[in-house]
Amino acid sequence: MSLLNNLIKKNSAERMVELEDRSKRTAVRGDFEGSVTGYWVKLERSGIGTVSYNNKHYATNPIGLTSVPAGAVVELSHANGVYFSKF
């Protein structure tokens, strides 16, 4: 058997193990489903953003390199335990 065929078989086996592991994990739930409209609060020196939604502040990973003022409307999303903000 060729090296390429061996690598393809190994990759397929590793992928199956990964998919089985993912199916056993419990999903991390956010406070909402999908994306919502929030309001920009501030950007920390560490690069973490703060967004306000329903009178609660969320630490977010900002997507993009745009500077926006406090109070600007942003899209707030949740995925796998992490909140993201997009302007």
Q: Which of 14-18, 25-29, 80-84 has the lowest mean pLDDT?
A: 25-29
Confidence of residue 1 (pLDDT cuts 50, 70, 90): low
Strand-pairing partners, residue 74, are 38
For the chain, domain boundaries: 35-86
CB 84 within 8 A of CB 76: yes
Distance in angstroms (rounded) separating the CA atoms of residues 51 and 32:
14
Pairing mode, strands 56-63 and 82-86: parallel
Span 39-60, pLDDT tens digits: 999 999 988 999 999 999 999 9
In CATH, 35-86 is 2.40.50: yes
pLDDT for res 78: 92
SS3 36: strand
pTM of the model as a whole:
0.67
